Structure 1
Amino acid sequence: MQSSAFALSPSIPLLRSRNSNPNPRCRILSTFSAVKPSVAPIRGCGASGGLRTVSPRLGGWVQALSSSPSPRQQDLVVRASSVPESAGESSTKSSELMQTLLLGSLFGLWYLFNIYFNIYNKQVLKVFPNPLTITTCQFLIGTVFVLFVWTTNLYRRPKITSSQLLAILPLAIVHTLGNLFTNMSLGKVAVSFTHTIKAMEPFFSVLLSALFLGEQPSVWVLFSLAPIVGGVALASMTEASFNWAGFWSAMASNLTFQSRNVLSKKVMVKREESLDNINLFSIITIMSLLLLAPVTFFVEGVKFTPSYLQSAGLNLKQIYVRSLIAGLCFHAYQQVSYMILSRVSPVTHSVGNCVKRVVVIVTSVLFFRTPVSPINSIGTGIALAGVFLYSRVKRIKPKTA
């Protein structure tokens, strides 16, 4: 009989003994091993036949009768065994397995959404080279999704003050610029080359942290930056789709995204319980739409209407469907990224981001049949290896006096 808690009643005989006792209550000598404190108090009888209460805190061996029971009392024993340790270990292993499977699924979704975003986004930008309009549409799709989630209470709507919005505004500005520059680069060069240049993000992170936060990089961090810079330079010299507009747009994307990370450290946002990373990203998405929509209207005009697309000889349904999928994947992969970051360390997340970049580069090369020379492949590989090395050496903490 296995149990973790018992409520013993005198009217229920638990075990009949070959020796009887006039008092039916004096039949129980409870022996417990490692029973939890939730056990109800047990009433037993001493040598005199009177009742006494045993404390419910039954850690180790607890004797319900007198300290020196008679042989007759010792013969009347109910053995109640607790849940074995193996059962607890099995439950713990099962829980750990479920957490590992959940984390693996999130990483898979992160990569999958990113792959679909880059493929469909590139297909749209090739036939509709208006990065301002495309970026605005992606923020619009993300905003509609956020409002739907908040309205239906699928996720708690945050309570935010005007001072918090003012502190978030710089983050929204650089977030808007970062995504705009990424789309500008994707429209000019191959997807694989854009992501190879974006491998330079650690370089800008170290540079901006040193300039604005006063963080001095270690020797190992500086050592890891060398293959990143060298690999990107080697890949750029041999890239078939290379042009300066695409190159500098990707570099500007690196600068703005890393500026966002530095600002998030420098500008301390007072968060309430409801303003977690996911809600913070949601608010930034809405603010980015409000910032970019007027600029798009004055610079590119309203060009995403059915009449304009048909006059340009474009497939209306194809453009809209691909743009919708790209916008949903754009918002989804960033949301999943924040979910992963809440479960793992920043270093682990950085390693996962490096692997994600490799997956996106390989997938885009295969899908678009991008011509890649051996030297270009070597340069890309060196740069990505440097990013991986950088993420590992960030674990090394400088020794303090």
Structure 2
Amino acid sequence: MMKESNGGVSDSVIRKVLISYFYVAIWIFLSFSVIVYNKYILDPKMYNWPFPISLTIIHMAFCSFLAFIAIHVFRFIELPSSMNGDLYVSSVLPIGALYSLSLWFSNSAYMYLSVSFIQMLKALMPVAVYSIGIMFKKETFNSSTMLNMLSISFGVAIAAYGEARFNVTGVSLQLAAVAFEATRLVLIQILLTSKGISLNPITSLYYVAPCCLAFLIVPWWFVELPRLRSAASFQPDLVIFGTNSICAFALNLAVFLLVGKTSALTMNVAGVVKDWLLIAFSWSVIRDTITPLNLIGYGIAFLGVAFYNHAKLQALKVKEMQKKAQQQDEESGALLDGDKKSDNQV
């Protein structure tokens, strides 16, 4: 029998809850660290290394190398047998191209906007995913859902109106990053998930990071390489860039642990906690200015995102109940067929 605590809850349940909280804490810490670290490296008022494409290339090269070692040397994970050259070109390459653009623009935004305001703009992700899903016919238009999307957009618009350091270039870069990331998420469903292919963070990095690296080389060659040559006297700190790359790779592992050991819903809730922590950190430590309109606008957007996640959760529960009911009907039908056959034999 399972031991029970004073409150009547079994020790195994408590252990599972504590482990879940542990995975959540690791993911929040690493995600928090990567965002603040990137801001520190790219911001002109901090480390002042204004080369977002170069930083993304370093991350992708490091992640590609470690993913290759993990799969081919230590053999932690097996590659999906269904992946072939045609599927890679038709499915993985478009996803890698969108991922490279998303990372490039999101990292570039750190040079112009505060950490807190970037997190507020990221609240538009459900709006972008839903809108692009409708375009690709992966989502069905629903007036109540669209009203919810409008409320999120309205909240972000208020936050933007109240932003003390509003920068058109930075906002444009971040909105473009959201659009590319949303398109990437929708294409993952269309090009991979619908074909029964699921990639964990290690295999995702193994396939996506190299082609992402290749796509980034082209703009890097024309945009940043000439500037890097003119700044040849600059000596990058290997400790800073090394630890920053390790954090980026570890974050992908943390995503795998969090979703694999808990659920995607847990990650969404943890993401909300992380956003509020980043806003508080940006205000208290980095000393970014956060106005009352910022908080009011983000509060409206936050409520809209929370309602959207709740609606998605309820829809998933209904689907699961329908599947269970269908399975029970099929099992009952199989039993009836078996009984009929046995009666006929008698």
Is the shorter-chain TM-score for this pair beyond 0.5, marking a shared fold? yes
Identity within the alignment, %: 22
Name the counterpart of 2:64. Answer: 143
Q: Deviation digits for residues 138-180 of structure 1, max 9, x if unmatched? A: 2122222222323441622525421231221111111111111
2:70 alignment partner AA: V
Name the counterpart of 2:12. Answer: 95
- In the aligned structure 1, how far is the partner of 2:274 from the partner of 2:130? 21
Question: Structure 1 residues 283-292 or 339-348, which shifts more?
Answer: 339-348
The alpha carbon displacement at 1:360 in A equals: 2.2
Name the counterpart of 1:116. Answer: 33
Name which one, 1 or 2, has greater alpha-carbon Rg. 1
Name the counterpart of 1:201. Answer: 125
Name the counterpart of 2:278. Answer: 360
SS in 2 for 1:396: helix
Relative to structure 1, the CA distance from residue 86 to residue 105 in structure 2 (aligned partners, 3 Å threshold; closer, same or farther) is closer
Q: 1:249 aligns with which of 173, 188, 202?
A: 173
SS in 2 for 1:326: helix
Normalised TM-score (structure 2): 0.79
The alpha carbon displacement at 1:247 in A equals: 0.4
1:114 alignment partner AA: S
- In the aligned structure 2, how far is the partner of 1:226 from the partner of 1:272? 33
Normalised TM-score (structure 1): 0.69
The alpha carbon displacement at 1:113 in A equals: 0.8
Relative to structure 1, the CA distance from residue 289 to residue 378 in structure 2 (aligned partners, 3 Å threshold; closer, same or farther) is same
Given the alignment of the two structures, is residue 158 of structure 1 paired with residue 76 of structure 2, yes or no?
no
Relative to structure 1, the CA distance from residue 243 to residue 344 in structure 2 (aligned partners, 3 Å threshold; closer, same or farther) is same
The alpha carbon displacement at 1:260 in A equals: 0.8
| Higher RCO (C-alpha under 8 Å, 6+ residues apart) | 2
Relative to structure 1, the CA distance from residue 179 to residue 296 in structure 2 (aligned partners, 3 Å threshold; closer, same or farther) is same
Given the alignment of the two structures, is residue 261 of structure 1 paired with residue 222 of structure 2, yes or no?
no
Q: Deviation digits for residues 124-149 of structure 1, max 9, x if unmatched? A: 11201121111111212222222232
1:357 alignment partner AA: D
- In the aligned structure 2, how far is the partner of 1:146 from the partner of 1:262? 24
1:1-400 to structure 2, matched below 5 A, reads 85-86=1-2, 93-126=10-43, 127-153=48-74, 155-158=76-79, 160-166=83-89, 167-268=91-192, 270=195, 276-301=200-225, 308=231, 311-312=233-234, 316-317=236-237, 320-397=238-315
- In the aligned structure 2, how far is the partner of 1:216 from the partner of 1:157? 36
- The CA RMSD over aligned residues, in Å, is 3.0
Runs of 5+ consecutive residues of structure 2 not aligned to the other structure: 320-346
Q: How many residues matched?
A: 309
Q: Deviation digits for residues 188-218 of structure 1, max 9, x if unmatched? A: 1111111111110011111011111252244
The alpha carbon displacement at 1:373 in A equals: 1.4
CA contact (8 A) 1:117 1:325 kept: no
